[in-house]
Structure 1
Amino acid sequence: MSAKSFSIPIRILPEDIDFMGHVNNSRYLNWVQDVVLQHWQKLAPAEEVASKAWVALKHEITYRKPAFLDDDVIAETVLEKIAGARSFYNTVIKRGEDVLAEVQSMWCCIDSETLRPARIDRDVAEKHFGIARKQTPHTGD
């Protein structure tokens, strides 16, 4: 079973452009957040979407090429693995075949009511995202 990728089109706005005439680097983080959250909302069961929220723990971005105002850009993400309440995503931002940026990010799933870390159910990870949750020896997950 392979992980299910998900992509969204990116609309570049005039306010995204910096003094050098291309998209400001900070906008890429917004795009990563948008695609990761939409990925969860699209693939997870409604009860999981309603009961869980996400916070970013870490982003590592490699910028390859700049994006400009009239570019057709997409952000494509894949949930690579889940370990406890942490999820590891790989996101690629592209213009056609050109890779503009690659982003490795780690997210923490939290319970929407308690705001405490929450594990993703193994069944949800396998059936809806196409990945097996990493097993932790002390819990037998």
Structure 2
Amino acid sequence: MVSFEKYIRVVRDDLDDMEHVNNVRYLQWVQDIAKEHWQELASPALRQKYAWVVLSHHIEYKAAALLDDEIRLKTYVERSGGVTSTRIVEMYAKDTSKMIVKAETNWCLLDMESKKPTRIPEEILNIFHH
């Protein structure tokens, strides 16, 4: 599996009424890093021909992140088959390495021309699972 990582710093707009990162923001980060990973690995031709859509999210909140915390996001595709792929996103506090969030998202590959689900071709399987 080919992982992708990035760091983010928590800003005031990320916080909820309790001064913790809002759950909706975590979900946005899950989607953002998945997209960035796809864009990093897939050729322009693949990105033009295919798109991923979410089927489901399962998110476990392990600890709170606060203003100015730096978070390491890590993602990888755990398994793929047929038209679907399961992606894991993990978020860790940079200073302690403590896990903050773990998300499992099921994605479906769409053919951009037909806008219908399509089997994941070997070329895509290879970029995530080599």
Give the corresponding residue for 1:136. Answer: none
Q: Distance in 2 between matches of 1:81 and 1:61?
A: 17
Map of 1:94-133 to 2, 5 A cutoff?
94-96=92-94, 97-126=97-126, 128-131=127-130
Q: Whose strand proportion is higher, 1 or 2? A: 2
- Decide whether aligned partners of structure 1 residues 95 and 44 sit closer, same or farther in structure 2, where only a CA change above 3 A counts: same
| Matched letter for residue 41 of structure 1 | Q
- Decide whether aligned partners of structure 1 residues 48 and 13 sit closer, same or farther in structure 2, where only a CA change above 3 A counts: same
CA contact (8 A) 1:10 1:31 kept: no
| Shift in Å, 1:22 | 0.9
| Matched letter for residue 87 of structure 1 | S
| Shift in Å, 1:98 | 1.0
Q: Distance in 1 between matches of 2:114 and 2:9?
A: 34
Normalising by structure 1, we get a TM-score of 0.85
| Shift in Å, 1:114 | 1.8
CA contact (8 A) 1:7 1:77 kept: yes
Can you give the 5+ residue segments of structure 2 that lack an aligned partner in the other structure? none
| Matched letter for residue 104 of structure 2 | Q
CA contact (8 A) 1:74 1:95 kept: yes
Q: Distance in 1 between matches of 2:50 and 2:107?
A: 12
Q: Distance in 2 between matches of 1:54 and 1:6?
A: 17
| Shift in Å, 1:105 | 0.9
Spell out, residue by residue over 1:63-116, the C-alpha distance to the aligned partner (whole angstroms, 9 max, x if none).
Answer: 011111201112111101111111101110111211100011101111122211
CA contact (8 A) 1:16 1:24 kept: yes
Give the corresponding residue for 1:7. Answer: 5
Can you give the 5+ residue segments of structure 1 that lack an aligned partner in the other structure? 132-141
Give the corresponding residue for 2:66. Answer: 68
Moved over 3 A (4+): none
CA RMSD of aligned residues (A): 1.3
Counterpart selection for 1:81 from 79, 82, 88: 79
Q: Distance in 2 between matches of 1:124 and 1:18?
A: 38
Spell out, residue by residue over 1:37-74, the C-alpha distance to the aligned partner (whole angstroms, 9 max, x if none).
Answer: 11111112221111111111111111011111201112
| Secondary structure of the structure 1 residue equivalent to 2:123 | helix
Give the corresponding residue for 2:88. Answer: 90
Give the corresponding residue for 2:16. Answer: 18
